[in-house]
Amino acid sequence: MPRTVALIGTDAIAEAMRQINPDVVPAYPITPQTAIVETFAQMVGDGLVDTEMINAESEHSALSAAIGAAAAGARVMTATSAQGLALMWEMLYIASGMRLPIVMPNVNRALSAPINIHCDHSDSMGARDSGWIQLFSENAQEAYDNVLQAVLIAEDPNVLLPVMVLLDGFIISHAVERLDLLDDRTAKQFIGTLMPRDSLLDAENPPSWGVFDGLGGYYFEFKRAQAQAMINAAAAVRKVAGQYAEISGRHYDFFETYRLDDAELVIVAAGSAAGTIRSMIDDLRAEGLRIGMLKLRMFRPFPERDLVKALSHVKNVAVFDRSDTFAGEMGGPLFVELRAAFYEEEKRPQMLNFIYGLGGRDLSRNLIRQAVDSCKLAAGSNERQKRIIYLGIRD
């Protein structure tokens, strides 16, 4: 029987971790992620899990320990945010390059400077080329569900890549929400046991891991294989979502659409903003506007073809980015990639970019209305030009 509970987002993640019962969790605290490892450390202390918890002296060390443990054949998790993720940078690439199925919730927080502890997506977006699968969550329920699914996605033999589960700092991590937890037995059956490959602890067949490529040069081949693993990840995400739907009744895919079928204007967004946008869409529909939403769950791999298919009938797309690329009038990362996805298409929607919510600035319903008004204006003018709008900026 599922259990309905009221939890803050970080405790929802800790509950998922308790059910996963990872062999090793090396961690270092950072706001707003700290609450995850605090609650989990209590679970370790109370003997609710068998996990070897390692209090590392930095995030770089935490992920290094995770990599070592994963190469030894352990099921490994850690968690981080913002500067912590930035300090892991070197190891992010090593985890994915060594093809280690580590699962790491990242509680999205703005990167310094100026120092700011609140939500935006600059931390994980900066890691978008690090070879990690990235799944966004709209709320605590999705964060919990994503963590459980992430384990099987990461460990899929056609994938073997680390997974970052993303949840918005404070908005999800520190707000109490109602959610359903799987009962422990169902969760454990779903998770199963890890079959390690080339374990460092296999005394019969001791392998070497992360070896020097030599001067002969096979790096290129390893990277091509890694690129293929990320391509394969899409199918694994879908397969695991199907299995998860059977036990939870909750359906996941690369993205979720809301009132999209006859929509002329569609807002594309990821993370907690989707909740506010959804409620606004109902109001705007009541006013007669044909508007819908596409909430992106899977950012890596980027579901290019599916997105194009879902949006090709749409006249106007408003892409909401909670981070900037600072690439010089290119817009936010979601915008850049979604625009690129349409390059070969005959029918391309007019696309506007709204950069919002940096450093935790609230995305109010009123701001969404402002964005929609800008789109209406652009649609009326019929001229095609790139527009990047900083939504809610003091101008």
Partner 1 sequence: MAKQWDFSRIREWGWREHPVGPVIPEPGTADRYETGGWRSLRPILSPEKCVHCFTCFIYCPDSAIVVSAEKMKGFNLRHCKGCGICARECPKDAIHMVNEAEARGLEKCLLPEEGGTGREQTS
> Under the criterion CB under 8 A, does residue 209 sit at the interface with partner 1?
yes
Q: Which is nearer to partner 1, 232 or 364 (CB)?
A: 232
With beta carbons less than 8 A apart as the criterion, state whether 300 and 258 touch.
Answer: no
Question: Of 224, 251, 347, 386, which one interacts with partner 1 (CB under 8 A)?
Answer: 224
Among 99, 109, 118, 300, binds partner 1 (CB under 8 A): 99
Integer Cα distance of 51 and 40 in angstroms: 10
Answer whether 150's CB lies under 8 Å from 22's CB: no
Q: Which is nearer to partner 1, 220 or 326 (CB)?
A: 220
Q: Quick check: 215 binds partner 1 (CB under 8 A)?
A: no
Q: What is the distance between the alpha carbons of residues 267 and 231, in angstroms, rounded to a whole number? A: 26
Tokens of 134: 């990235």
With CA atoms as reference, report the closest residue to 97 among 5, 233, 227: 227
Joined tokens for residue 59 = 């995030």
Please tell me the count of residues contacting partner 1 according to CB under 8 A.
24
CB of 28 to partner 1, least distance (A): 25
DSSP string, 79-129: -B-HHHHHHTHHHHHHHHHTT---EEEEEE-PPSSS---S--SHHHHHTTT
Name the residue nearer to partner 1 (CB basis): 207 or 242.
207
Left (φ > 0), alpha (ψ -120 to 50) or beta: where does 65 sit? alpha
390 binds partner 1 (CB under 8 A): no
198 binds partner 1 (CB under 8 A): yes
- Binding test (CB under 8 A) with partner 1, winner from 62, 100, 143, 182: 100
CB neighbour list of residue 140: distance below 8 Å, 6 or more residues apart: 7, 8, 9, 12, 167, 172, 175, 177, 179
Cβ at position 154, least distance to partner 1 in Å: 13
Q: Do 240 and 152 form a contact (C-beta atoms < 8 A)?
A: yes
- Smallest separation, CB 204 to partner 1 (Å): 7
Distance CA 335, CA 254 (A): 17
Measured on CA atoms in the order 257, 138, 240, 247, is the torsion positive or negative? negative
* Tokens representing residue 36 in the block: 């995850």
197 binds partner 1, rule: CB under 8 A: yes
Our finding on whether 90 is near partner 1 (CB under 8 A) is no
In the complex with partner 1, which residue's Cβ is closer, 214 or 288? 214
Nearer to partner 1, 218 or 390 (CB): 218
75 binds partner 1 (CB under 8 A): no
Q: Is 218 in the site for partner 1 (CB under 8 A)?
A: yes
Smallest distance, partner 1 to C-beta of residue 210, A? 6
340 lines the binding site for partner 1 (CB under 8 A): no
Q: Closest approach of Cβ 158 to partner 1, in Å?
A: 10
| Interface of this chain with partner 1, residues 136 to 195, rule: CB under 8 A | 160
Closest distance of CB 235 from partner 1, Å: 17
Judged by CB under 8 A, the residue of 24, 74, 82, 98 near partner 1 is 98
Classified as helix, coil or strand, 275 is helix
Q: Contact positions toward partner 1, by CB under 8 A?
A: 97-100, 160, 197-198, 204-211, 213, 216, 218, 220-222, 224-225, 228
